[in-house]
Amino acid sequence: MKRYGKLGIIAGLAVLSIGIYYIQPIFTGETRPQFSVSAKSGDKTLIEDMTIEGYYYENNLYGIGTEVEIANEATTYYSTQPYLNQLQGSVNGNEKMTQLQKKYRSFMRGKEPQLANYFEDDSILAYADITLDSMSAVTEDSKFLIEVLDKKTNDVISFSVDFPKATDYFSMYIEDVQVANNKLIVVTNGYSINSENGQDEQHLYSIDLPNEKIEKDEKIKMDLVDSKDKEIQYVELLNAGNDIHSSKILVYRVTLDVPQTETEVYDENEIITQPVFGLIGVNIETGEQFLIDVSDKLDNKALGNTILIENSTLYFYKKNDTTLSLYSYSLEQRELLELESVELTKEQLAILKADVILQVKDGIVFFAESSNVTDKAMQIMAIDSNSGELVFEGTIDEKVNQPSKRDELYLSEILFQQ
């Protein structure tokens, strides 16, 4: 009887948990605020196609919350989306994925709903995946699954190729898919069993589409970055994960730790060392890898800030007590240019003192506070990188039926409709 009693308790808890999951929106829907971006000055049209993604905590103490998307006309909470959409990732990612699924229903059937697995241009829609076991690990039978849709003829090329040296890797995932010179370039990040330093490896697999075979496997050359007396901590692909269109040049940021000496570790006045950053560019068409050297004008802190990519241009920023300076780096010409510096007020500079999120569109760089622990509205501003003019200032406002703490909202990304 004890056994059945325990089963009854477990069943009751399961029902209660499911009930809370579905009933919770009934109680929280009215208390969730509606957010909007309001213009204070400047060109209001700059925010017409803008959406801002973030996370809203309904209960900070218990970590209960949901992803949120803020647009001009509406606030969308992730937990209110259909269950299948919730499996696909962020709100914005859902929109692009939903477009693909509606337009190419047959081709998209049964495929992973992650934008990183896709490439699209005017002619084709391509998809790549890696077969893994039930624990999401690489096995000796792992393969690349490739499908390419010809948009004009609706013909589909579908094939698989063995994953090279599969037994050398424990895990692997796809970060990006590109197409160049009739080859599908699958960009991966994975953990090698034979790794001496415990770091992930980044590879570019060139798959010849006509011959349906892997033509080249190129590993990103970490030795391009000066790592003497340093340890690689993290490698990040900076190209936008929500963009499935062509990127001629990929950019990796390498974060290196400077090991502390024994004296520093045990000294009462411990020295906290800052990480060092390096940038590596990879030309998709030629396979060339090169160091992006901007050290003559930008310090290490600027490299650690958010770096924006638009077309084949990188955007950097750095600030001092009164001004904000913008820089652009042409990935094709490999040249760094210092753009106009902007004189800012104390209130405007205060935005940059806290954590910020950034985005660039048509050379306009947007800055927004990512969180706020006070009752003041979050600030957002935009600067024209060509003229150095402050072209927009605004706030992220909230409207709620009941009082809520502003520090429950955390912003992660500014996006524009494609």
Question: Quick one: 320 and 389 in the same domain?
Answer: yes
Q: Looking at the structure, tell me whether residues 25 and 40 fall in a common domain.
A: no
Say whether both 12 and 50 belong to one domain.
Answer: no
The answer on 37 and 26 residing in a single domain is no
Question: Taking the CB of residue 15, how many other CB atoms lie within 10 A of it?
Answer: 10
**Helix (H) or strand (E) run with residue 21 in it:** helix 2-28
CA 248 to chain centre: 18
Whether 112 is in a domain gets the answer no
Residue 8 lies in a domain: yes
Residue 4: band (very low, low, confident or very high) from pLDDT cuts 50, 70, 90: very low
Same domain, 306 and 329: yes
Confirm whether 182 is domain-assigned: no
If you average pLDDT over residues 257-273, what whole number do you get?
57
Do 384 and 347 belong together in one domain? Answer: yes
Is residue 380 located within the same domain as residue 393? yes
d(CA 140, CA 147) in angstroms, rounded, equals 22
Q: What is the mean pLDDT of the chain?
A: 83
pLDDT tens digit sequence for 29-79? 456 888 889 999 999 999 998 999 999 887 666 667 888 989 877 888 877
Q: Whose structure tokens read 């770096």? A: 307
pLDDT at 380 over 80: yes
Match 């337009």 to its residue by tokens: 103
Is 402's pLDDT higher than 70? no
From 18-27, 48-57, 232-241, the region with the lowest mean pLDDT: 18-27
Is 417 domain-assigned? yes
For residues 161 and 130, what is the distance between their CA atoms, to the nearest angstrom?
10
Q: d(Cα 298, Cα 376) in Å, to the nearest integer?
A: 33
- The answer to the question of residue 206 being in a domain is no
Q: What is the pLDDT of residues 201-226, one digit of tens each?
A: 999 999 999 999 999 999 999 999 98
The encoded tokens of residue 91 equal: 């709100």
Whole domain around residue 41: which residue ranges?
33-79+297-418
Residues 315 and 379 placed together within one structural domain of the fold: yes
Residue 55, number of CB atoms within 10 A of its CB: 15
On whether both 391 and 412 belong to a single domain, the answer is: yes
Count structural domains, the chain: 2
Would you say residue 113 lies in a domain? no
39 and 9 within one domain: no
Using the predicted structure, report yes or no on whether residue 174 has a pLDDT greater than 70: yes
Which DSSP state fits 404?
-
Whether 38 and 16 share a structural domain: no
265 pLDDT above the threshold of 50 = no
> Is 310 within the bounds of a domain?
yes
> Is residue 394 assigned to a domain?
yes
Same domain, 45 and 22: no
